[in-house]
């Protein structure tokens, strides 16, 4: 099975406190630690496991600048066979549809049976996978937390729905699936693994290589524009307990007692 | 604005989801001049009829689309239906739940209109540019997003962000089933597998000690368990703990886990994503302990402690034990 996984380089929210810059034009990016989007990492692991079971190859692709190459290498160190970097100044400022349009153009240059994305990334929009499938006119399922290969034309998949229930469906190939965290346990990537793929060539494709008009993507093509970042005026918020940890513990115990929190 | 606004009604067992009451409020924010808002209800049988009747009490017009193939929602089928029935320029509001996430991005492509996901607020309209509020980075920052809706739009609305307003109507139900199309799909629903039942039922406990990513290591779960034992509570958790397989799925609080209604909720190292908070009902007394002062959980908690929980919680547990 030929599998393509779409990944994104994002600020690692487990490692960073996200702060809006003084002008509200962006978040403070100076000291941010970046990594591969957590959901995408599960998608790559799933792709590798499927390939190891039924054969084929795994390609990882991203839309980004030259810094994004490091996450492609990381995912190749996990076991992906190939990486493709889609990079062009014309891609800057793309909205969800713009990213999906760029990915579609690259996908149509190859032949893929299965396309995976993470269920969502740093902006929480959870949109590119569904848009991509609609552009390619192939079926889509979001929030997938189980994939069984029935045959070379059909998958049996589980979607995570409300209440922790799982919705089981059959879906025809080719298709796009967005992967929910917890579907597997992504393997650890050591520094040695990354060294092994350090010199593998990663092709860089721009508008001309994939045959799309610059004005159809990027900020020129975007109908949805983020105009600023801000921190909403704080609500009532929590009453913060302060003092020595001894004092805080005593205050908290009193509060818990009064609210029925200690039996 | 001249376009029609539509609200997609999700429903189960003949009852509309609470989002039906919120979408009409969001619609009025888009067009305060008294929008004509039409509810769209897809389904089949008497359950569909009872939802349509209920919606006619809230929305001035209800479009009913009945087909046996719509009895269980399938985003691909329902998308085709919407593409067929919606007029050009329609602004369609859809709940941002697991069905809306499945449906809306593709719908916007097939209609060739912009899509904005997970809308938490609407800040007015400037000509044809709708000013929308969203959140990024798990709710740590907010953004204003401008979207040109002159050709229509698909907007996914987060639940709980638009307070229901007692909208009343003597609406009419219009049967649009004839325009639904063939209802074919390359994805076929098989069944729903119910969530596993764990050895502990977290929904039955009045006091929960809930752990999140800030617990850092599986071994540290014992810190939470010891506190829970000392105060007679049960340990629950947020999603990353289940993903890491440190606790079983049945312990997860959130929209994709269990909905709990405790009296006291102690959140240890939980950032407070809306998916997690969506699983906490009944307005419990909430204590948040987190080393990140910017964690969204501090916006909703009653009492907060900014500290390293791995050091503080064992001290707290010790004190409680001594006291007893």
Give kind and range of the element (H or E) at residue B240. Answer: helix B239-243
**Burial (CB count within 10 angstroms: exposed 0-12, middle 13-18, buried 19+), residue A235:** exposed
- Cβ contact A160–B136 (<8 Å): no
CA atoms A147, A150, A151, A154: torsion sign = negative
- Treating both helix axes as pointing N-terminal to C-terminal, what angle do A96-107 and B98-111 enclose, rounded to 10 degrees? 70
Chunked into runs of 10 residues, chain B (324 residues) has average pLDDT values of 90 96 95 81 98 97 97 96 97 97 98 98 93 92 95 95 91 96 95 87 95 96 97 96 93 92 97 91 95 90 96 96 87
Which of B106, B187, B312 minimises the CB distance to A131? Answer: B106
- Nearest-CA distance A220 → chain B (Å): 14
Report the distance separating Cα B200 and Cα B203, nearest Å.
Answer: 9
- Cβ contact B315–A239 (<8 Å): no
Which residue, among A12, A42, A45, A125, would best test binding to B if mutated, counting the most B CBs under 10 Å from its CB? A125
Report the distance separating Cα A96 and Cα A131, nearest Å.
Answer: 8
Asked if the interface predicted TM-score (ipTM) of this complex is over 0.85, the answer is yes
For position A124, what pLDDT does the model report? Answer: 92
Buried b (16+ CB within 10 A) or exposed e, B280-299: beeebbbbbbbbbeebbbbb
- Cβ contact B97–A229 (<8 Å): no
- Residue B223 contacts A where some CB pair is shorter than 8 Å: no
- Residue B184 contacts A where some CB pair is shorter than 8 Å: no
Report the distance separating Cα A58 and Cα A35, nearest Å.
Answer: 20
> Which residues 274-303 on chain B approach chain A with CB closer than 8 angstroms?
285-288, 292, 294, 297-303
> Which residues 145-174 on chain A approach chain B with CB closer than 8 angstroms?
156, 158-172
For position A163, what pLDDT does the model report? Answer: 85
- Residue B245 contacts A where some CB pair is shorter than 8 Å: yes
Q: Residue B283: which region, alpha, beta or left (left: phi > 0; alpha: psi -120 to 50)? A: left
Asked whether the beta carbons of B145 and A93 are under 8 A apart, the reply is no
| Closest to A6 in 3D by CA, of A88, A107, A150 | A107
- Nearest-CA distance A161 → chain B (Å): 6
Report the distance separating Cα B139 and Cα B153, nearest Å.
Answer: 24
Chain centroid to Cα B114, Å, comes to 21
Chains A, B: CB contacts under 8 A, how many?
266
pLDDT at residue A69 tops 90: yes
Q: For chain A, where are the alpha helices, taking DSSP H only?
A: 38-54, 69-78, 96-107, 128-136, 191-196, 207-210, 218-221, 245-258
B209, two tokens: 């000690």
With a CB cutoff of 8 Å and minimum separation 6, the contacts of B217 are none
User: In the Cβ-directed half-sphere of B38, how many Cα atoms lie within 13 Å?
Assistant: 22
Report the distance separating Cα A171 and Cα A71, nearest Å.
Answer: 30
Which residue, among A167, A228, A233, A241, would best test binding to B if mutated, counting the most B CBs under 10 Å from its CB? A167
Which residue, among B72, B109, B210, would best test binding to A if mutated, counting the most A CBs under 10 Å from its CB? B109
Kindly identify which residue of chain A lies nearest to residue B195, measuring between CA atoms.
A165
| Closest to A138 in 3D by CA, of A178, A180, A173, A182 | A173
- Cβ contact A253–B305 (<8 Å): no
Reported as a pLDDT band with limits 50, 70 and 90, residue A18 is confident
Percent of chain A with pLDDT over 90: 90
Asked whether the beta carbons of A99 and A128 are under 8 A apart, the reply is yes
- Nearest-CA distance B172 → chain A (Å): 31
With a CB cutoff of 8 Å and minimum separation 6, the contacts of B236 are B202, B208, B209, B210, B211, B251, B252, B253, B258, B260
With a CB cutoff of 8 Å and minimum separation 6, the contacts of A181 are A38, A39, A42, A119, B239, B240, B243
A184, two tokens: 């597997």
> Which residues 58-97 on chain A approach chain B with CB closer than 8 angstroms?
95-97
Buried b (16+ CB within 10 A) or exposed e, B68-106: ebbeebbbbbbbbbbeebbeebbbbbbbbbbbbbbbbbb
3-state secondary structure at position B163: coil
With a CB cutoff of 8 Å and minimum separation 6, the contacts of A236 are none
Place of tokens 């320029």: B89
pTM over the 0.80 mark = yes
Which of A27, A134, A259 minimises the CB distance to B106? Answer: A134
Report the distance separating Cα B48 and Cα B16, nearest Å.
Answer: 10
Reported as a pLDDT band with limits 50, 70 and 90, residue A233 is confident
Sheet holding A166-172, edge to edge: A204-205, A82-86, A57-63, A2-6, A114-118, A175-179, A140-149, A154-160, A166-172, B187-193
- Residue B157 contacts A where some CB pair is shorter than 8 Å: no
Report the distance separating Cα B291 and Cα B214, nearest Å.
Answer: 8
With a CB cutoff of 8 Å and minimum separation 6, the contacts of B245 are A185
For position B35, what pLDDT does the model report? Answer: 59
> Which residues 101-130 on chain B approach chain A with CB closer than 8 angstroms?
101-110, 114-118
- Cβ contact A172–B136 (<8 Å): no
Report the distance separating Cα B188 and Cα A92, nearest Å.
Answer: 38
pLDDT tens for A166-196 read 999 999 999 999 999 999 999 999 889 999 9
Buried b (16+ CB within 10 A) or exposed e, B217-253: eeebbebbbbbbbbbebbbbbbbbbbbbebbebbbbb
User: In the Cβ-directed half-sphere of B93, how many Cα atoms lie within 13 Å?
Assistant: 30
pLDDT at residue A232 tops 90: no
Vertex B28: Cα angle to B25 and B31 (nearest 5): 160
For position B115, what pLDDT does the model report? Answer: 98
Which of B195, B263, B307 minimises the CB distance to A165? Answer: B195
Report the distance separating Cα A221 and Cα A223, nearest Å.
Answer: 7
For position B223, what pLDDT does the model report? Answer: 97
- Cβ contact B195–A234 (<8 Å): no
- Nearest-CA distance B59 → chain A (Å): 26
| Closest to A63 in 3D by CA, of A109, A6, A114 | A6
pLDDT at residue A135 tops 80: yes
For position B39, what pLDDT does the model report? Answer: 98
- Residue A140 contacts B where some CB pair is shorter than 8 Å: yes
With a CB cutoff of 8 Å and minimum separation 6, the contacts of B305 are A240, A241, A248, A252, B287, B288, B289, B290, B312
């Amino acid at each position: 099975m030929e599998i393509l996984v779409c990944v994104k380089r994002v600020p690692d929210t487990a490692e960073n406190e996200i702060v809006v810059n003084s002008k509200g034009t962006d978040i403070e990016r100076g000291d941010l630690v970046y990594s591969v989007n957590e959901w995408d990492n599960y998608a790559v692991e799933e792709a590798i496991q499927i390939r190891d079971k039924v054969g084929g190859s795994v390609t990882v692709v991203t839309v980004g600048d030259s810094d994004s190459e490091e996450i492609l290498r990381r995912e190749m160190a996990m076991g992906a066979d190939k990486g493709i970097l889609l990079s062009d100044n014309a891609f800057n400022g793309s909205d969800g549809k713009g990213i999906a349009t760029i990915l579609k153009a690259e996908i149509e240059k190859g032949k893929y049976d299965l396309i995976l994305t993470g269920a969502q990334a740093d902006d929480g929009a959870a949109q590119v996978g569904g848009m991509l499938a609609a552009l390619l006119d192939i079926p889509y399922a979001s929030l997938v937390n189980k994939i069984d290969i029935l045959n070379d034309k059909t998958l049996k998949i589980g979607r995570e729905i409300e209440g922790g229930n799982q919705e089981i469906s059959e879906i025809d190939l080719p298709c796009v699936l967005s992967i929910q965290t917890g579907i597997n346990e992504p393997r650890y990537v050591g520094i040695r693994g990354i060294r092994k793929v350090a010199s593998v060539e990663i092709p860089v494709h721009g508008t001309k290589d994939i045959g799309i008009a610059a004005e159809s993507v990027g900020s020129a093509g975007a109908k949805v524009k983020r105009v600023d970042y801000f921190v909403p005026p704080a609500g009532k918020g929590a009453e913060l307990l302060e003092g020595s940890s001894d004092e805080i513990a005593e205050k908290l115990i009193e509060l818990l007692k009064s609210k029925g929190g200690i039996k | 604005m001249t376009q029609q606004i539509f609200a997609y009604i999700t429903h189960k067992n003949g009852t509309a989801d609470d989002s039906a009451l919120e979408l009409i409020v969001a619609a009025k924010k888009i067009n305060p001049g008294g929008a004509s808002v039409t509810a769209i209800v897809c389904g089949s049988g008497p359950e569909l009829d009872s939802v349509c009747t209920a919606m006619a009490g809230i929305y001035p017009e209800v479009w009913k689309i009945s087909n046996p193939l719509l009895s269980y929602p399938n985003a691909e089928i329902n998308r085709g239906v919407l593409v067929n029935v919606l007029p050009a320029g329609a602004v369609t509001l859809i709940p941002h739940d697991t069905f809306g996430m499945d449906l809306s991005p593709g719908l916007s492509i097939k209609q060739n209109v912009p899509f904005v996901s997970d809308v938490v607020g609407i800040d007015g309209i400037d000509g044809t540019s709708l000013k929308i509020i969203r959140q990024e980075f798990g709710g740590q920052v907010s953004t204003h997003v401008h979207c040109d809706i002159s050709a229509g739009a698909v907007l996914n609305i987060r639940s709980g962000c638009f307070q229901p307003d007692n909208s009343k109507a003597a609406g009419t139900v219009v049967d649009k089933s004839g325009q639904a199309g063939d209802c074919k799909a390359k994805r076929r629903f098989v069944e729903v597998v119910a969530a596993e039942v764990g050895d502990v039922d977290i929904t039955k406990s009045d006091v929960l000690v809930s752990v999140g990513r800030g617990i850092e290591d599986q071994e540290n779960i014992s810190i939470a368990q010891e506190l829970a034992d000392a105060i007679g509570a049960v340990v629950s958790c947020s999603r990353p703990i289940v993903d890491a397989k440190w606790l079983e799925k049945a312990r997860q609080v959130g929209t994709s886990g269990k909905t709990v209604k405790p009296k006291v909720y102690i959140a240890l190292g939980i950032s407070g994503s809306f998916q997690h908070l969506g699983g906490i009902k009944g307005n419990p007394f909430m204590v948040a302990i987190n080393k990140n002062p910017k964690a969204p959980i501090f916006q909703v908690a009653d009492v907060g402690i900014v500290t390293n929980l791995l050091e503080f919680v064992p001290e707290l547990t010790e004190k409680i034990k001594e006291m007893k």
